[in-house]
Amino acid sequence: MKIFYLFLSLMIFSSCSIFEDEVFENTDNNLMSKEDIIKDKKSPPFSFFRALQSVEREEIEISNEYNNMITKPLGYAAWVGHSSFIINNYDLNIISDPMFSDRASPFQFLGPKRLIEPAIGYKNLPKIDVVVISHNHYDHLDLKSVKKLNKLNPNTIFLVPLKLKNWFLNKGIKNVYEFDWWESKIIKNTTFTFVPVQHWSRRGLFDKNKSLWGGWWIENSNLKLVHLGDTGYSKDFIEINKRLGSPDIAFIPIGAYSPRRIMKKSHMNPREALDAALDLGAKKSIGMHWGTFILTTEPIREPEVILYDLIQKSNFQEDFFVTMKPGSIIKFNE
């Protein structure tokens, strides 16, 4: 484990904005800075990694609802875990940020290990038409997962951020298109638009922000969806609403937010996630990016508990912003 924590230490320090070879930046240039990392003696890497090790491993409840359905309906979302959803938008079968591996890491023998198995395995997947990738972090872009999906259906279309296409081509995945923010592509009767969020990218020590990051707006005549990938709170959500309208369904990250002095610019807490839903004008939101890996120091179930309390205290309808059991399904027409 020491090797992995050394690697993470280097990753965090080299993620500061003092590095000048970056290609992309957020819309408001709000990046992690050196001051965020070394603000005081208790800052990472050492105290943060000790705190990570002290987080109690806990398995959230998994549902077999999707796996037990013999005939899948039209118009639904099913949560595999983390940021991975199977989505049928009445036109296409889509999977977001597919992550089926045991670890979110460049190493398969160490690094963040799943707390729960993927609630929906490869054998129960529908024929996937489109894979959308939000950015290149290991918990969102997993090599084994994308290669397996490509093998299961070589006609699957992969939609990826700018400067990631060559990575896919080098892995033998050829049916891939890359996008700058606000660029769109129509597939069958659905328009996919890559939208800005506040985050960053990296897979190694020397590729900080050399590929883009973002969310996916997915729209046809029946449904408007947005998947925000991984993001801190920003004005991007207001701009998405201004340009594209209000989504029927928003998939919004609610976890991996502690300690705030480090994570605030990259990850939203539940209060900020609720604000993001309001900024988007979403009719219904689904919380994601929690309960699958220990990436930060908040307790495993805390994001869900806090979000539920916020909804109750703010007098929203209970289904305005929900969490799901992995393996469960939400039908869009209900």
Query: Taking the complete model, does pTM exceed 0.85, yes or no?
Result: yes
Q: What spatial distance separates the first Cα and last Cα of the chain, rounded to whole Å? A: 46
Closest by alpha carbon to 7, among 167, 203, 177, 154?
A: 203
Q: How many CB atoms lie within 10 A of CB 160?
A: 25
Write the DSSP symbol of residue 198: B
- Backbone φ and ψ for 200, nearest 5 degrees, come out as -165, 175
- Report, at the CATH architecture level, how domain 55-331 is classified: 4-Layer Sandwich (3.60)
Domain boundaries, the chain: 55-331
pLDDT tens-place values along the chain, 334 residues long: 455 444 455 455 444 444 446 789 999 877 655 555 445 445 545 577 778 788 999 999 999 999 999 999 999 999 999 999 999 999 999 999 999 999 999 887 888 999 999 999 999 999 999 999 999 999 999 999 999 999 999 999 999 999 999 999 999 999 999 999 999 999 999 999 999 999 999 998 888 999 999 999 999 999 999 999 999 999 999 999 999 999 999 999 999 999 998 999 999 999 999 999 999 999 999 999 999 999 999 999 999 999 999 999 998 998 999 999 999 999 999 7
pLDDT of residue 36: 54
- Backbone φ and ψ for 185, nearest 5 degrees, come out as -145, 135
Q: How many CB atoms lie within 10 A of CB 40?
A: 7
> Dihedral, CA atoms, 111, 200, 253, 298, nearest 10 degrees?
50
Task: Find tokens 């209900």 and name the residue.
Answer: 334
Q: Looking at the DSSP assignment, which residues form a beta bridge with residue 131?
A: 95, 158
Task: List the structure tokens of 154.
Answer: 């070589």
Q: Looking at the DSSP assignment, which residues form a beta bridge with residue 103?
A: 113
